[in-house]
Amino acid sequence: MSLFEQSLPEIHNKLHAKELSVSDLVNQAYENIGVREDKVKAYLALDEERARARARQLDDRLVSGEEKGLLFGLPVGIKDNIVTNGLRTTCASQFLSNFDPVYDATVVEKLRAADTVTIGKLNMDEFAMGGSNENSSFYPVRNPWALDRVPGGSSGGSAAAVAAGEAYFTLGSDTGGSIRQPASYCGVVGLKPTYGLVSRFGLVAFASSLDQIGPLTKNVEDSAYVLQAIAGYDAKDSTSAKVDIPDYLSGLTGDVKGLRIAVPKEYIGEGVDPEVKDKVMAALKVLEGLGATWEEVSLPHTEYAVATYYLLSSSEASSNLARFDGVRYGVRAENPENLLDLYHQSRSQGFGPEVKRRIMLGTYALSSGYYDAYYLKAQKVRTLIKQDFDNVFAKYDVIIGPTAPTTAFKLGSQVDDPLTMYLNDILTIPVSLAGVPAVSIPCGFSDGLPVGMQIIGKAFDETTVLRVAHAFEQNTEFHKQRPQL
């Protein structure tokens, strides 16, 4: 059995008993990368020299008996839009192909304080814009379950690395489903925390009112461990929430008796693959057998969520990406005729097609004469979508449905059809617009490909979301299955 198949408590017990070293764990990560990475392409950069040095430091602490962090010794991969001091951060874009940050994101600092080892930076859709990881300007990631399939996006590298055993866990970012959808496609656990629970300081912004960092792990318990380490208020993030952080691990009781589950009819209706629906309905029966109850409900404004999201996120992207002008950092065009030509050439050469598409869409929505008709109206609809969730949560504890309407699709099959690509996020986008937490967990397989179930909770109630996910997981075996590479 691979070391990465063992539970976190098992690994820590072996570390404390000197049956295992941190160097062994890091060796396992790089050994798996050496065998599998040519097929999967999950990483954009590796940090092997510093990782092995860090492992030796932690091994010395094992001998000395010093106090150990919550995630002691675990090898982690970081999505390439989360800045890392001294380790290139490109956002999978040619524009930042030479960008070496001089500071760490807050989540990276917190992981270091928890005694993890950073293995490398993970591939993604450029500037987190995409749902298949085919928008990386370097190379696409492949799904470890079927190498001709996409891993999902934009955190496709983060999900694929966990599924392939190339990291013990990873961090991704979720704007409209970019943790949960790839988790579903790759058969791993992906958690999008409540907006404001985890600091965004050091996350390269796509859409600032939606972006949130979260973990991708092989099981729910690991997700609770990582969230415990990275959650909390950060004065460096103006959107960070001052809330008490509960003990997420103590909430994994397995008890869901009396739990009230809502199942939106919009999440299991037209457009959702029948086999995906069947797997989710079977999962609901498991929870029903554990004492939970469920009823069908309606989230009536779901049909407007995709249009609302792409107007708002593209508008924010247009504003956020204005800083990439070839002057301060990133790639600069050679021999421009003047300053305006420098901007034009640098942005034309540095940004890929999908990024340009969203900048143009967002700029149009924010422009004079169209602001009220598009951007302002989208903000009003966002409020209605949030109210839908508030109304359901007044009666129910969690909302459950599929994470994605289908399993992973084939590479190249949708890349030239952006509207079809955008609709793959139809079940995750409403959650992001409402700012509430959700986790995707494996709930079955369809033609050998993983199916994900999405569990959505009230704002800052990650405890209940994780408890329900853990209860289901403990009564099934889906999370234990791994692709054969």
DSSP 52-79: HHHHHHHHHHHHHT----TTTT-EEEEE
The secondary structure of 208-225 as a DSSP string is TTT-EEEEEESSHHHHHH
Q: Active-site residue numbers?
A: 79, 154, 178
Q: What angle do CA 478, 481, 484 make, to 5 degrees?
A: 150
CA dihedral sign, ordered 154, 156, 162, 166: negative
Are the CB atoms for 95 and 330 separated by under 8 Å?
yes
**DSSP secondary structure code for residue 483 in this structure:** -
Q: Partners of 447 in the beta sheet?
A: none
Residue 155: both structure tokens together: 């955190």
Q: What angle do CA 153, 325, 130 make, to 5 degrees?
A: 10
- Alpha-carbon distance values, 247 to 227, 230, 276, 460 (Å): 10, 13, 33, 13
Q: How would you classify the pairing of strands 260-264 and 398-402?
A: parallel
Rounded Cα distance between 423 and 307, Å, is 10
Helix (H) or strand (E) holding 399: strand 398-402
Q: What is the pLDDT along the chain (485 residues), one digit of tens a residue?
A: 589 999 999 999 999 999 999 999 999 999 999 999 999 999 999 999 999 999 999 999 998 888 899 999 999 999 999 999 999 999 999 999 999 999 999 999 999 999 999 999 999 999 999 999 999 999 999 999 999 999 999 999 999 999 999 999 999 999 999 999 999 999 999 999 999 999 999 999 999 999 999 999 999 999 999 999 999 999 999 999 999 999 999 999 999 999 999 999 999 998 999 999 999 999 999 999 999 999 999 999 999 999 999 999 999 999 999 999 999 888 999 989 999 999 999 999 999 999 999 999 999 999 988 999 999 999 999 999 999 999 999 999 999 999 999 999 999 998 888 878 888 899 999 999 999 999 999 999 999 999 999 999 999 999 999 999 999 999 999 999 999 88
Are the CB atoms for 369 and 113 separated by under 8 Å?
no
Rounded Cα distance between 243 and 236, Å, is 16
- Residue 418: its pLDDT value, please? 81
Residues 6+ apart with CB under 8 A from 475: 286, 289, 290
Helix (H) or strand (E) holding 245: none
Rounded Cα distance between 379 and 311, Å, is 9
Rounded Cα distance between 170 and 158, Å, is 6
Rounded Cα distance between 392 and 385, Å, is 11
Q: Is 5 exposed, middle or buried (CB count within 10 Å of its CB: 0-12, 13-18, 19+)?
A: exposed
Residue 230: both structure tokens together: 């990275």
- Residue 1: its pLDDT value, please? 54
Pick from 366, 368, 328: which is nearest to 350 by CA? 328
Helix (H) or strand (E) holding 411: none
pTM: 0.96
- Residue 350: its pLDDT value, please? 94
Longest dimension (CA), the chain: 71
Q: What angle do CA 181, 182, 188 make, to 5 degrees?
A: 105
- Residue 329: its pLDDT value, please? 84
At 323, the amino acid letter reads R
- Residue 368: its pLDDT value, please? 85
Q: How would you classify the pairing of strands 293-297 and 438-446?
A: unpaired
